[in-house]
Amino acid sequence: MTKPTRRDLANAVRFLSIDAVEAAKSGHPGMPMGMADIAEVLWNDHLKHSPANPKWFNRDRFVLSNGHGSMLLYSLLHLTGYDLPIGELRNFRQLGHRTPGHPENFVTDGVETTTGPLGQGFANAVGFALAEKLLAQRFNRPGHEIIDHRTWVFLGDGCLMEGISHEAASLAGTWGLGKLVAFWDDNRISIDGDTAGWFTDDTPARFEAYGWKVIRGVDGHDADAIRAAIDDAIASDHRPVLVCCRTTIGFGSPNKAGSEATHGAPLGADEIKATREALGWEHGPFEIPQVIADGWDAREAGREREDQWNRAMEAYAEAFPQEAAELRRRARGELPEGFAAVADEYIARLQAEGPKVASRKASQMAIEAFAPHLPELVGGSADLAGSNLTMWSGSKDVAGDDADANYVYYGVREFGMTAISNGLAVHGGFLPYDATFLVFSDYARNAVRMSALMGAQAIHVYTHDSIGLGEDGPTHQPVEHLASLRYIPNNDVWRPCDAVESAVAWKAAIERGDGPSCLVFSRQTLAHQPRSDAQVGLIERGGYVLADAEGGAPDLILIATGSEVGIAMEAKARLDAAGTRTRVVSMPSTNVFDRQDPGYRESVLPDAVRKRVAVEAAVSDFWRKYVGLDGAVVGIDRFGASAPGDVLFRHFGFTADAIVEAAQAL
C-alpha cells in the first residue's frame, strides 16, 4: 500500500471497533462500522483539535451522542494521536482501563462529555455551541476572532426519538447556533429491529420547523458526498445544521449489515473473517499498517493550529489586556480574586440585618449580590423566572447579541435545560445555573445524575420545596424529591432555613468546582435565625448546632432543614420549658455534613444522645440514618393536598406540638 484511500482510513476505524468488541465479547460494532466514513472525512478534513493538548480552549468540540458506539471515538482518538494506546483498545470495557462501554470525559482524554443516555449528548452539544456564541460575543474584537470553534455531533435514531432532543433542537434553532453541526446516522435500525414500526417522523421537516438548515439525502458511505455536505454546513448562516446521512449499520459485514444483529453484539469470528475479506482488510486484529497510521496522525497539524492560536492570543492580550486576563481566568475555571471576601461580607451583613423572606427570594438576593462579581455566571429558568426568582438587575437575554448576555429563557424544557446547563459547564468559561420547581426535578433528574457523574459544576435551583407551596396541590408538591436527589453520588443538595443559609449555599455551590449542587428553596416566608459569627462560619459544613441545650449535655436532639427549622426552634422552647435539655441542629446539606471529619460530626450529633427527632416536610425514611431505630421522624409519607400552605402544615403535623409529642414519646 502506497497511499491509503479514504475507505482504507475508514476501515481502520471499522476494524479497531470490530476487534475491540470481539475481544470484550460485548459492545456495539454496528454504529462505528456505519459512521466510519463520516468520521473519517470530518476528523481528517475539518475537525480543529490538538491531540497533544486535549484541553486546548479554542478546539472544536466533538460529541458522540449515540455513545453506545464508543469504539468509534476510541478508534479516532487512538489513530489521531491522543494518549490512548492500542493496549487500551485491546481492553475495551475492562476494569481499570480508559475505554469504558460508553464515553466518559473524566476517564479518557479527548472525550468532551459523558454520553450514553440517548439524546443528552446532543443537548450537551447545544450547551457547547451556546458557550461558544456567548464567549465570542464577549471577547472577540475586530481583527481578533479569538473564540472561533465549532461543535460537531453524531447522533442516531434513538437520540432523535428521545424527547430531550426535541427540547434542545428547538432552543438551538431559536438561538441561531450557527456553529453547531449534527450528523444524523439514518440507518433505520434500533435494538428491536427496523424502526419503521415506531419511528416514522419526518425528521428533516421537524428540524426545519425548529429553524435549522437541513442537508438531506447524504450518502453516508460516499466521502465526496460527505465532504460536500460539510462544506455546505460550514457555509451556513446563523442556523444550526442537520446533515441527514443515510447509512448501513454494520457496513461491510456480508451477513449482518443492515440488521439489528450488529447493533449490540460482537460479530463473531466467522463474520469478522468474512468482513475482512469483503472490505479487503488484510491485517490482523488491532493491526494498523504504518501508512494508514500516518494518514490519521493529527499531532503535528494540531500543534500548528494551537501555536497559531497562542500567537493570536498574545496579540489579543497586547491589544486588550484586561479582556485577555479575564478569558484566561475563566478558561482555567478560577473564580475572580476576592470573591470569597465579597461573599463573606454579604453573609455577615445578612446575619446582622436578619431579613424575613422566602428562601427563593433570599436566593435571588444572593444572585444579585454575587453576580456582578462573577461574569461567568449564566443561568435561567424553565418558564418560571417570576416564581423561581432567578433574574437579577443585570440579566440579559442570551438570544440576542449583547456582549454581556447571561440569562437563558429555557421555556418549559426541564430536561433539555439541565443537559444544556451541563454542556455550558463542561465546555468551560461559564458557571451555569438552571431552575424549576422541585417537583419537576423528576423531569430533569437523569441530567442531574449526569452532572454528578461528570463532576460538572452546574447549579440546579429548585423552588417551591414542599407541601408548603400550597394550593397547586399534590401534583406540584414534592415529597420524595429531596431524598432522591441526595441519593445521587457526588451531588450536593442544600435546603436552607433562612436568608443567611441561602447565601452560604450559593457560595458553596459557586466555590465547589468538582460537581453539581442542588439549591432547594421555599415559597413561603421563613424566619431569620439568630447565630454567632462562629455559627455562621459552620453553616458551610452542611450541619451545625443552631441552638444548644442549657445547663449541660442535651437530652434530646432535633434535626431539621429548611422551613422546618423554625418549627423545631419553637418546639425546643417548649421542651426546654418542660425540663428536656434540647439541641437544635440545622442541616442544610446532609451530603456536605457526611463528608466532615468524624470528630466534627460527633460534636454535632454525639453518639451518646440517642433521643433524636428529625423534622422535614418530605419522606421520613431518609432520616433514619441520623436518628436510628431509637429516634423518630416527623415527615410525610403520602402525597399532599390542595390548600393554603399553612393549613397543610397543620394538617400533616408539621407543628411544634407534633414535634414535642414525638420527642416526649421517645
Query: Catalytic amino acids?
Result: 414
Number of other residues whose CB lies within 10 A of the CB of residue 619: 19
d(CA 564, CA 654): 7
Number of other residues whose CB lies within 10 A of the CB of residue 593: 19
H helical segments located in 114-266? 120-139, 157-161, 163-175, 203-209, 223-234
Instruction: Enter the C-alpha cell of residue 643.
Output: 390548600
d(CA 148, CA 313): 12
Instruction: Enter the C-alpha cell of residue 47.
Output: 475537525
Angle of helix 441-454 relative to helix 414-427, nearest 10 degrees, comes to 20
Task: Find the radius of gyration of the CA atoms of the chain.
Answer: 28
* Nearest residue to 174 via CA among 408, 15, 331, 6: 408
> Can you point out the beta strands (E) in 59-147?
61-64
Q: CA-CA distances (angstroms) from residue 640 to 470, 476, 526?
A: 9, 9, 20
Q: In what order do the strands lie in the sheet with 612-615?
A: 544-547, 582-586, 556-560, 612-615, 632-634
* Nearest residue to 425 via CA among 648, 632, 127: 127
d(CA 261, CA 248): 12
SS3 call for 84: coil
Q: State the pairing for strand pair 612-615/459-463.
A: unpaired
SS3 call for 206: helix
d(CA 624, CA 310): 56
Query: In which element (H, E) is residue 353 found?
Result: helix 339-353
Q: Which residue pairs from 56-60 have beta carbons closer than 8 angstroms and sit at least 24 positions apart in sequence?
A: 56/302, 56/306, 56/309, 57/331, 57/428, 57/429, 58/146, 58/147, 58/148, 58/149, 58/309, 59/149, 60/149, 60/150, 60/151, 60/152
How open is the CA angle 493-367-482, to the nearest 5 degrees? 20
d(CA 516, CA 453): 9
